Amino acid sequence: MMDKIRTYLYLCFIPATLFFSGGLAAAPQNGMGIYLGVIGASEDSVTSNGLSLGVDALFVIAPNWSLSPYLMISAERDTYSRTITDGLAGIALRRWQGDWFIGVHAFEHDRLIIDNGTVQNSAYGLSGGLTAGFEKPNGWGAQAQADLFESTYIRGTQRNALRVHLTYRWH
């Protein structure tokens, strides 16, 4: 058992040390980006899937660090064939290692659940999450974004979502 724990610690500690050491990192570049991808979300036993679209601006704030204000929207269908739209306005703080990044993000969201053309429920509020991905020098990249603990219309219940995007950035 101790060998498994030790192996796990080595497998996590060594990459984390390399990633967060400043010596191997290349600096990110300022630019505007567009995101297109898919989203999968869950709220209690209700799941939804759909398309996600976003735009951002990337600002280098220090070597290997960037700040990215962004806007995103998704169009989804849930377990009960209802339409869900989820709009986000947020900001991401990223730590870069070469072309790769990992970061955190905070956002304000506004989600509508629509059934037969009528808004059934609305939820909004502040939330946060994690993001990771890469961007190549030619502008193309990919990103995974976890949106965690979005407030919902049911007290004590949160919605969690995972967005996977193909990205392009103009430098």
| Domain count for the chain | 1
For residue 111, give the CATH number of its domain. 2.40.160.20
- Expressed as residue numbers, the domain containing 91 is 26-170
* 110-134 pLDDT, tens digit each: 999 999 999 998 899 999 999 999 9
In a domain, residue 6? The reply is no
In a domain, residue 121? The reply is yes
In a domain, residue 5? The reply is no
In a domain, residue 19? The reply is no
- Report pTM: 0.82
How many Å apart are CA 163 and CA 158, to the nearest integer? 16
In a domain, residue 70? The reply is yes
In a domain, residue 146? The reply is yes
State the chain's mean pLDDT as an integer: 87
**Element of type H or E holding 9:** helix 2-20
How many Å apart are CA 59 and CA 28, to the nearest integer? 9
* 23-80 pLDDT, tens digit each: 444 568 999 999 999 999 999 889 999 999 999 999 999 999 999 999 999 999 999 9
At 145, the pLDDT band (50, 70, 90 cuts) reads very high
In a domain, residue 144? The reply is yes
In a domain, residue 110? The reply is yes
State phi, psi for 150 to the nearest 5 degrees: -65, 140
